[in-house]
Amino acid sequence: MLRYINVRSKQRNEFIDITEKINEVIKESGIASGVCYIYVPHTTAGVTINEGADPSVQRDIQNSLNRLFPYEMNYSHREGNADAHIKSSVIGTSQFVIIDEARLVLGTWQSVYFCEFDGPRHRRVALKFIADK
């Protein structure tokens, strides 16, 4: 079963918590137990699982990525978003998460974040569910 959620970023670099959006889609799907494959089909965005209680963690990750891969550098890619492509590759574009009791199985402090590196934009995130038999 394949579903999509829409995400709209407001900044060039932004981490957007999509955990509850995913849980809503899981509930609507009727799947109680299985696996959720989360995939971002964009070359300048990604998805990660990390601290959900303290927003300073997302800022620290973004600041570290910006220091490692600054917006302006002598990149060969001339569209002006080479840093976003590199950040997407480093963070990655997919995650697998277990589903139990019709919700993602995450640690107490964990959330799923859509990672925007070339916004603001309208994006889609693909969710593939594999239900237990």
Quote the pLDDT of residue 131: 95
Which CATH number applies to 2-131: 2.60.120.380, 2.60.120.460, 1.10.620.20, 2.30.130.10? 2.60.120.460
Taking the domains of the chain in order of start, what are their residue ranges? 2-131
Range 49-77 average pLDDT: 96
Supply 10's token pair.
């407001």
How far is CA 3 from its chain centroid?
15
Helices (H), 1-133: 19-29, 55-68, 82-91
Supply 127's token pair.
């969710």
pLDDT, tens only, 3-60:
999 999 999 999 999 999 999 999 999 999 999 999 999 999 999 999 999 999 999 9
Q: Give rounded-to-5 percent helix, strand, coil for the chain.
A: 25, 40, 35
Q: What percent of the chain is modeled with pLDDT above 70?
A: 100
Instruction: State the Cα–Cα distance between residues 128 and 124, nearest whole angstrom.
Output: 13
Instruction: State the Cα–Cα distance between residues 69 and 21, nearest whole angstrom.
Output: 30
Range 77-106 average pLDDT: 97
Quote the pLDDT of residue 133: 75
Do you find a cis peptide bond into 55, omega within 30 degrees of 0?
Answer: no
